């Protein structure tokens, strides 16, 4: 079968090649991939910035397709079902935190950037019927991360004020959409006025360009602060977020692309009784809740561009440059 593997001997670190299919083991299914999507994780693997990197592994965590084979002890009713794949493996039984054996599809286990993918049957969920293949493939990893940040860690309720930073990223866009679906008053930030306009079109109340020096004072004037802030950058922007959090508010972060903060406004944190929480991808319970919310509110992922497998290097390069507005999708 055709697949995109990590190969650091190549100029692009990627190789579109033929990979021999292997037999299923007990509890597994084979899915004919109709569409797959990229995450920053895939680019980090390409750059060697992720643990347990191995050449020859098929990349990709997001995928949607049709079940074409079931292994021993798998219900045959899955055959020919249209599915999306939960890429979070071995979360464990504790809703609070993942187990020590937790892993994500696509490294070190073969992932979705292939004509077929083998996954445990318990990773399957029926594809919401209102989604195209491209939209369904765009949902799993970023959608799951956003859902846990919004609902479990953020505990967003209808009427709460929510700020989601960095609207250009997939997790941020899902967090905005999920917050709106729940009934929160949602604001967002970005360095791109084009992206902020898109956010306003979705129903965001306030949109702030964080390159403007006055965005903090403007946010406090227009909103009186936020009950929950969801962020994927941290670094020294954490102190800006502390400035716009309501007393008793929460700052939930799922990434640290800007690294660690060089200083921390500790006095404001304790005096305002702020909660700073970390979050990751979610549990099986979170994934089920995310799919239900998407189905109930007919939420559609934002798609930036669709590439063919033969254009993988171009797609990865676009991910690296961070210029996309929505998810990047690849078709076998």
pLDDT tens sequence across 3-22: 999 999 999 999 999 999 99
* 23: helix, strand or coil: coil
Domains and CATH numbers, the chain: 2-139+301-331 (3.90.180.10), 144-278 (3.40.50.720)
* Cα 250–chain centre separation: 20
pLDDT tens digits, 228-269: 999 999 999 999 999 999 999 999 999 999 999 999 999 999
Q: Whole-prediction pTM value?
A: 0.97
Task: Name, in order, each residue with C-beta under 8 angstroms of 217's C-beta and a sequence gap of 6 or more.
Answer: none
Question: Which residue do the tokens 């859902």 mark?
Answer: 147
pLDDT tens digits for 49-101?
888 899 999 999 999 999 999 999 999 999 999 999 999 999 999 999 999 99
Which of 262, 214, 271 is CA-nearest to residue 242? 271
């Amino acid at each position: 079968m055709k697949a995109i593997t990590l190969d650091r001997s190549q100029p692009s670190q990627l190789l579109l090649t033929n990979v021999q299919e292997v037999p299923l083991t007990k509890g597994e299914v084979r899915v004919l991939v109709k569409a797959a999507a990229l995450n920053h994780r895939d680019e980090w693997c390409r750059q060697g910035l992720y643990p347990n990197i191995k050449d020859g592994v098929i990349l990709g965590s997001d995928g949607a397709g049709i079940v074409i084979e079931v292994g021993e002890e798998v219900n045959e009713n899955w055959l020919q079902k249209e599915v999306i794949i939960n890429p979070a493996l071995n979360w464990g039984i504790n809703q609070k935190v993942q187990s020590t054996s937790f892993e994500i599809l696509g490294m070190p286990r073969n992932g979705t950037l292939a004509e077929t993918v083998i996954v445990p049957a318990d990773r399957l969920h029926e594809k919401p019927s209102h989604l195209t293949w491209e939209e369904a493939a765009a949902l799993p990893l970023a959608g799951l991360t956003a859902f846990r940040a919004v609902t479990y860690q953020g505990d967003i309720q209808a009427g709460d004020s929510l700020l989601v930073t960095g609207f250009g990223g997939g997790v941020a866009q899902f967090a905005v959409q999920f917050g709106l679906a729940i009934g929160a008053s949602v604001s967002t930030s970005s360095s791109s006025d084009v992206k902020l306009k898109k956010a306003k079109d979705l129903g965001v109340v306030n949109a702030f360009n964080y390159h403007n020096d006055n965005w903090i004072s403007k946010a406090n004037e227009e909103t009186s602060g936020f009950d929950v802030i969801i962020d994927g950058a941290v670094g020294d922007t954490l102190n800006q977020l502390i400035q716009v959090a309501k007393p008793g508010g929460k700052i939930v972060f799922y990434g640290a692309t800007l690294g660690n903060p060089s200083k921390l406004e500790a006095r404001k944190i304790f005096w305002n009784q702020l909660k700073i929480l970390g979050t990751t991808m979610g549990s099986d319970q979170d994934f089920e809740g995310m799919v239900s919310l998407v189905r109930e509110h007919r939420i559609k992922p934002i798609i930036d561009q669709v590439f063919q497998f033969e254009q993988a290097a171009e797609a990865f390069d676009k991910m690296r440059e961070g210029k996309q507005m929505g998810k990047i999708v690849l078709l076998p």
